[in-house]
Amino acid sequence: MGQITLSKVTKKFGEVEVIPPLDLEINDGEFAVFVGPSGCGKSTLLRLIAGLEDVTSGTIAIDGTDATGLVPAKRRLAMVFQSYALYPHMSVRKNIAFPLKMAKFDQAEIDRRVEAAAKVLNLGDYLDRRPGQLSGGQRQRVAIGRAIVREPAAFLFDEPLSNLDAALRVGMRLEISELHNRLATTMIYVTHDQVEAMTMADKIVVLQAGRIEQVGAPLELYERPRNLFVAGFIGSPK
Ligand code: ADP
Ligand code: MG
C-alpha cells in the first residue's frame, strides 16, 4: 500500500495556473523527492496530494482508489510538519498521541501506538518531557512520531529540516532514510536542496514552474539529464 497516481492534475490560484497538467506515479514503498527552485510548486503539489488544497482538474488516486474529493483525514496520508508545529504545553506523549485522540481511538490502542513510535524514534526516555526540554533533532522526531502513529499509507514531508542547523540536518537526513528502510512505507519529501534529493531519493522529481522537467533515480538524472535545467540543478549543489 502507498501507491499514489496523479492524472492530468492542474492547480490554479485565481487566474494563475501554478500546476499545468501533470501526470506522476509514485510506487508503493518508494522514497520520492520533489526538488526545484523556490516557488516552482513543490509545496502546492504536496498539499494537493495531502488534500490540503483542492485540484482545479484531474485526479489523485491512492492505492488505485480515487481520493480526489476526500478530505485529508480520509486519505491515510500523514504530513510531517516542521518541529515548531508541536504543542509546547503538552508532553511528548500527548503530542504524539494527539492525532489519535482527535480520531477518537481508544486509550489502549493510543498507548500501544505511541510506545511503538517512541521505540522506533528512540524517544522512549523523553515521553514525559515537553518539547521545550528537547534538542532540535528530538523535537523533529516527535513531529515524525505524530505521523507514524497514524500508520499512514505514505508520509509527506515539506522541507522538514529547513529550520535545523547544518550538522543536525545531515543527521536527520540519515534518520529519515533509516526510518524509510525500517517502515518500508512510501515517503514524499519536498526540498530545494539538491544534496538532500541526491542522497535520500529512490526517485527524484525535478520541477520548474509547476512542470516536471524529469523523473528518475539520482544516478540517472546525474548521468543523463534531459535538459540544461536538470543538468544545472542536479550538477551544481549549493
Ligand atoms: P515551492 O514550495 O516550490 O516554493 P509553492 O508551491 O509554495 O512553491 O508555490 C508555487 C507558486 O504558487 C508560487 O508562485 C506561489 O506564489 C503560488 N502560491 C502558492 N500558494 C498560493 C496561494 N494560496 N494563493 C496564491 N498563490 C499561491
Ligand atoms: Mg514550499
Reading the block at residue 115, the C-alpha cell is 510506545
Residues with CB under 5 A from ligand 2 (ion): 43
Characterise 58 by phi-psi region: left (phi > 0), alpha (psi -120 to 50), beta (else): left
In this predicted structure, the answer to whether residue 183 has a pLDDT above a threshold of 90 is yes
Q: Is the per-residue pLDDT at 153 higher than 50?
A: yes
**Model pLDDT, residue 233:** 84
Q: How far is the CA of 113 from the centre of ligand 1 (A)?
A: 35
pLDDT computed for residue 145 by the predictor: 95
Q: How far is the CA of 41 from the centre of ligand 1 (A)?
A: 6
User: Which residue from 12, 44, 191, 207 has its CB within 8 A of the most atoms of ligand 1, so it is best to mutate?
Assistant: 44
Interstrand relation of 65-66 and 57-62 (parallel, antiparallel or unpaired): antiparallel
Please compute the mean of the pLDDT values over residues 115-119 and round it to a whole number: 95
- pLDDT at 238 exceeding the cut of 50: no
- The complex's ipTM works out to 0.98
13 lines ligand 1 (CB under 6 A): yes
In the numeric block, the cell 518500508 is attached to 184
The percent of residues in the chain predicted with pLDDT above 90, rounded, is 89
Residue 3 has pLDDT above 90, yes or no: yes
Tell me if 236 CB under 6 Å of ligand 1.
Answer: no
pLDDT at residue number 236: 60
Q: Which phi and psi angles does 57 have, rounded to 5°?
A: -155, 170
- Cα-to-centroid distance, 209 and ligand 2 (Å): 13
What is the layout of strands, in order, in the sheet containing 16-26? 16-26, 4-13, 57-62, 65-66
CA 35/CA 225 separation, integer angstroms: 14
Note the pLDDT tens digit of each residue in 40-83. Answer: 999 999 999 999 999 999 999 999 999 999 999 899 999 998 76
Report the pLDDT value the prediction gives residue 11, as an integer from 0 to 100.
98
**Which ligand has an atom closest to residue 13 CA?**
1
Rounded to an integer, the average pLDDT of 170-186 is 94
- Given a contact cutoff of 8 angstroms between Cβ atoms, the answer to whether 136 and 187 are in contact is no
CA atoms within 13 A on the CB side of 111: 3
Helices (H), 84-215: 92-102, 107-120, 136-148, 166-183, 194-200
pLDDT in tens, 193-229: 999 999 999 999 999 999 999 999 999 999 999 999 9
121 CB less than 6 Å from ligand 1?
A: no
End-to-end CA distance of the chain: 35
Amino acid present at 100: L
pTM for this one?
A: 0.94
- Which residues lie across from 60 on neighbouring strands? 6
In DSSP terms, which residues pair with 158 in a beta bridge? 190
Dist. CA 42 → ligand 2 center (Å): 6
